[in-house]
């Protein structure tokens, strides 16, 4: 175990991480990076020569890590404490979300592109184990060669895909291109759910990465393109990004507004300050996405499910992780309050009047956006269900999605008649 980690961005040293008490980390930019690049790894970590405090350093870097059961299993199998952020980054930080690679200081980075290991058979065997004992096995921990880190509570794995074959990078110079998610023990139809909701958003005018359902060894996987990767001259190039929680300095355990995380006001302020290069377009786009999430019944749209691309300035990243949670027997509470309530059954017309003030738009404009989004979704939903059933086979989830979407659009439109 080393006492310092290198932070690599575009094959250059951007800074270092030192271990602090209880597995927390302390970040510091390299002087060379400050003098020649001066690009921040996060809006919460502006370029400066001084070290950052453990709280703000750990908040950003911990948000790169898996959560929930995947984190527990990974820590157990690698024999370190699940709260040890430093140990996680040391073991799994070579290919994170965005452009950063995190490598032990005593390890020489290998930037040779195109070096991958075929893990197709290993992946099928892991999926077999998950199917037999879904509560015991998780996809990410089962892949022994993975040195990759993706945030979130869902079971998922970043991979490089070529044709029907799946690969993991052998070195820091080789990046992944896709994210795969298997079936979930509690929600076996969630791959179709997410693929449908993502494509529905794409068809109604949102910037959404391409996704699909793919069968591998008899298993159904949800596969989505990584928008933070781009192929240039046959090399996969990393594009830096950070989620809203990272940009605002919130730790991972505070991603929900109800537990102290960001709400719509904080998100709007972030957009207005850093993403207003197109006027109010990004703010209106964010409002439209709130409406879309209401329509599909996605109550889990928290601060980590919205991101900023560091690309020729700052851009609002494509939307992702769009899933209808309302189709499942869960507590129907939104991750961010609409008006002053999180509960679906308590949201009324006055809730949207408060929301309009929170987002600094006129109620009439919000009503117009709401009606336009409802019409756009209703115009697409039946044809998309038919297409999915043709491509992937009939499933009850499509009937459930259709019911929820049409129920929610009618309810939304009733608020503004």
pLDDT tens across 261-283, in order?
999 999 999 999 999 887 899 99
> Is the same domain home to 134 and 65?
no
How high is the mean pLDDT of the chain? 91
- Is residue 249 domain-resident? no
What is the pLDDT, as a whole number, of residue 135?
62
Residue 153 clears pLDDT 70, i.e. is over it: no
> Is the same domain home to 55 and 131?
no
Using the 3D structure, point to which of 57, 82, 104 is the last residue of a domain. Answer: 104
> Is the same domain home to 331 and 361?
yes
- Is residue 111 domain-resident? no
Using the 3D structure, point to which of 104, 125, 147 is the last residue of a domain. Answer: 104
- Is residue 247 domain-resident? no
Burial class for 170, CB neighbours closer than 10 Å (0-12, 13-18, 19+): middle
> Is the same domain home to 269 and 369?
yes
Residue 61 clears pLDDT 90, i.e. is over it: yes
> Is the same domain home to 128 and 73?
no
Residue 149 clears pLDDT 60, i.e. is over it: no
pLDDT band at 3 (very low <50, low <70, confident <90, very high): confident
> Is the same domain home to 309 and 401?
yes
- Is residue 146 domain-resident? yes
Number of domains in the chain: 3
CB 314 within 8 A of CB 275: yes
What is the pLDDT, as a whole number, of residue 332?
81
Which residue range forms the structural domain that includes residue 11?
Answer: 4-104
What is the pLDDT, as a whole number, of residue 67?
72
The total number of residues written for the chain in this structure: 417
> Is the same domain home to 199 and 291?
no
> Is the same domain home to 271 and 408?
yes
> Is the same domain home to 29 and 64?
yes
The CATH code of the domain that includes 391 is 1.10.1070
pTM reported for the whole predicted model:
0.94
Q: How far is CA 171 from the centre of its chain?
A: 23
Q: pLDDT by residue (tens digit) across 297-347?
A: 999 999 999 999 998 889 999 999 999 999 998 888 999 999 999 999 999
Residue 112 clears pLDDT 60, i.e. is over it: yes
> Is the same domain home to 376 and 316?
yes
> Is the same domain home to 154 and 92?
no
> Is the same domain home to 220 and 285?
no
Q: Which residues participate in catalysis according to the annotation?
A: 300
What is the pLDDT, as a whole number, of residue 138?
62
């Amino acid at each position: 175990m080393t006492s310092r980690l290198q932070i690599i961005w575009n094959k250059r040293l951007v800074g270092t991480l030192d271990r602090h008490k209880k597995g927390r980390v302390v970040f510091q930019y390299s002087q060379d990076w400050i003098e020649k690049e001066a690009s921040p790894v996060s809006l919460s970590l502006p370029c400066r020569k001084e070290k950052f405090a453990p709280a703000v350093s750990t908040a950003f870097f911990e948000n790169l890590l898996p959560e929930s059961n995947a984190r527990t299993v990974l820590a157990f199998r690698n024999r370190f404490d699940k709260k040890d952020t430093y140990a996680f980054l040391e073991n799994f930080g070579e290919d994170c979300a965005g452009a950063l690679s995190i490598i032990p200081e005593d390890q020489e980075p290998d930037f040779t592109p195109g070096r991958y290991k075929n893990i197709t058979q290993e992946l099928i065997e892991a999926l077999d184990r998950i199917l037999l004992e879904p509560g015991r096995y998780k996809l990410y921990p089962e892949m022994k060669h993975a040195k990759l880190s993706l945030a979130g509570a869902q079971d998922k794995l970043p991979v490089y895909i070529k044709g029907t074959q799946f690969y993991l990078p052998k070195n820091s110079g080789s990046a992944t291109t896709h994210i795969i998610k298997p079936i979930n023990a509690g929600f076996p139809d969630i791959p179709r759910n997410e693929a449908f909701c993502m494509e529905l958003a794409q068809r109604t005018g949102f910037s959404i990465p391409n996704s699909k359902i793919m069968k591998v060894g008899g298993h159904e996987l949800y596969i989505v393109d990584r928008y933070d990767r781009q192929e240039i001259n046959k090399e996969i190039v990393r594009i830096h990004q950070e989620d809203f929680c990272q940009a605002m300095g919130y730790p991972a355990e505070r991603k929900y507004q109800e537990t102290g995380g960001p709400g719509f006001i904080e998100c709007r302020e972030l957009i207005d300050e850093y993403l207003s290069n197109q006027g109010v377009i990004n703010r209106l786009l964010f409002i439209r996405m709130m409406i879309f999430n209401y329509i599909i019944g996605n109550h889990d749209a928290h601060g980590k499910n919205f991101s900023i691309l560091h690309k020729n300035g700052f851009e609002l990243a494509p939307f992702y992780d769009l899933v209808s949670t309302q189709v499942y027997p869960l507590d129907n509470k939104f991750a961010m309050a609409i008006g002053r309530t999180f509960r679906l059954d308590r949201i009324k017309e006055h809730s949207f009047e408060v929301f309009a003030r929170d987002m600094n738009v006129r109620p009439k404009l919000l009503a117009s956006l709401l009606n336009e989004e409802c019409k756009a979704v209703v115009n697409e939903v039946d044809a998309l269900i038919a297409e999915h059933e043709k491509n992937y086979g009939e499933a009850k989830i499509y009937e459930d999605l259709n019911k929820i979407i049409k129920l929610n659009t009618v309810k939304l439109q009733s608020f503004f008649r």
